[in-house]
Amino acid sequence: MVHSTFDPPWLYLPTEISDVLRPVVGDVVEAIIEGIPIDVPVYAMPMEGRFGQGVRQGVQVALHRFLDLPGTHLPALSEDGKWVYEGLGRGEVRSGRSLESLLAAYRSGARVTFRTISRLVDVSQLTPEVLMALGESLFAYIDELSAASAQGYAQEQSERAGEQQRLRGELVEMILRGDATDGAVARAAAAIGWTLPEVVVVGVVPFPHVDGLRSVLGPDALVAERGTDVVIIYPFGNRAARRTSLERALRGRRAIVGPARHWQHAGESLHLADAAGVHHVTPGTDLPADADPPVWVEEHLAQLIVHAEPTAVADLAVRRLAPLDGLRPVVRERLAETLLSWLRHQGQRAPIAQELFVHQQTVGYRVAQLREQFGEALDDPEARFELELVLRAGHR
């Protein structure tokens, strides 16, 4: 007889074999139930309780279904049977066990079944071809059971991960709202096994850069989608260590991290991170182009303040930079650049020359031009402060 690769192996079993095996099904069930705890010790205790009852039911359903298959094209499992084995897979997740334990129990059951049949049935009545087909059918059948349980295991994991993610997202919103009056945040944190830290930072990462973010941040971070960004709430008690860890995880992601706050004021950290994004606050020009570290808002608060009222700063720039109005653009740009460096370095020629890549005599010449244009304003502390403010804001 020619066997098709698409035919199930039980198609080539004679239907009469079911009549031979049915009388010993009860004995086979008991042998399997006794053998599983020996072959898979992790089930020694569970087999005494509800789980054991479920396994017994699964074994009985499996054996009776198997005896319906010889000589047919029937699938290994009926819809009801598939539900039983998917349920066993789901149960492994709920019990905190690995899927491998259940698959090992299936393999043990197949071996015990074959041994018990050989012991209780007069196999001399069966031809070698039938015995081979019986063994092949048993293990093919176990593969189908294993696949159904693996599917149930994966579905349970996925659903649990989705539910966990939903609950973590809800906790993010509660913290950002500052819900603290009735202990709701503490209860929500406890429900997902998250330790509520005293101090946190809130970070924002744009969507094109969020791949693998949850994985690199680990379970300590709360991550939730929000508009076109992902928001991160990260414990920040051990400041130095936490900063190093977060910097490593966020490098290359165009992230902005707000200042540290008590968790009840995490919304303030998010507000400042959002403001830094709106006003395009950047780490600075002294970093390598490919470094792309996260922006730590606490290091750019002055820059953020300057950008917070752009119209007011622009009006101030018109008034304070008026002495440069009559100059050619290239000269105006050069003197404005020199003035900012002069203000930043408090008139020290050496660092000014180094920053501008010019000779110190050139610095002296340009400062003389500035004094000619601005006069006594360069000696007025308030005027110098306002000049540095508008120049740092980018006005020229």
Residue 201 has pLDDT above 90, yes or no: yes
- Quote the CA–CA distance of 122 and 322 in Å, as a whole number: 110
- Phi, psi dihedral angles at 52 (to 5 degrees): -60, -40
Q: What confidence tier does 203 reach under pLDDT thresholds 50, 70, 90?
A: very high
pLDDT score of 99 more than 80: yes
Phi/psi for 178 (5° steps) reads: 80, 30
- For residue 3, is pLDDT > 60? no
- Mean pLDDT for 180-186 is 79
197-305 shares the fold of 9-159: no
Q: Residue 290 — very low, low, confident or very high, per pLDDT cuts 50/70/90?
A: very low
d(CA 111, CA 265) in angstroms, rounded, equals 62
Q: Where are the domains of the chain?
A: 9-159, 197-305, 311-392
**Spatial distance between the Cα atoms of 174 and 55, rounded to a whole number of angstroms:** 43
Exposure string of 332-346, with b = 16+ CB inside 10 Å and e = fewer, is bebbbebbbbbbebe
393 — pLDDT class (breaks 50, 70, 90): confident
* Tens digits of residue pLDDT in 154-178: 999 888 888 888 899 999 999 998 8
Determine the residue type at 46. P
- Kindly give, in sequence order, each residue whose CB lies less than 8 Å from that of residue 22, ignoring residues fewer than 6 positions away: 67
Give the per-residue pLDDT at 335. 94
Q: How far apart are the first and last CA of the chain?
A: 92
Using CA atoms, how far apart are residues 295 and 281, in angstroms rounded to an integer? 8
Residue 1 has pLDDT above 80, yes or no: no
Strand runs labelled E in the chain = 199-206, 222-226, 229-235, 256-257, 261-262, 295-296
pTM score, two decimals? 0.59
CATH number of the domain located at residue range(s) 197-305 in this protein: 3.30.70
Is the separation of the CB atoms in 242 and 235 below 8 Å? Answer: yes
What was the pLDDT predicted at 286?
Answer: 46
CATH architecture of the domain covering 9-159? Orthogonal Bundle (1.10)
Q: Do the beta carbons of residue 257 and residue 202 sit within 8 Å?
A: yes
Mean pLDDT of 353-367: 93
Mean pLDDT value across residues 80-93: 88
Choose among 382, 378, 351: nearest CA to 367. Answer: 378
pLDDT of residue 308: 75
Q: How far apart are CA 313 and CA 389, in angstroms?
A: 8
| DSSP annotation of 122 | -
Interval 233-282: pLDDT, tens = 999 988 888 999 999 999 989 999 999 999 999 999 999 999 888 877 76
Q: Are 35 and 108 in contact (CB under 8 A)?
A: yes
SS3 call for 63: helix
Check residues 319 and 49 and name the one with the higher pLDDT.
319
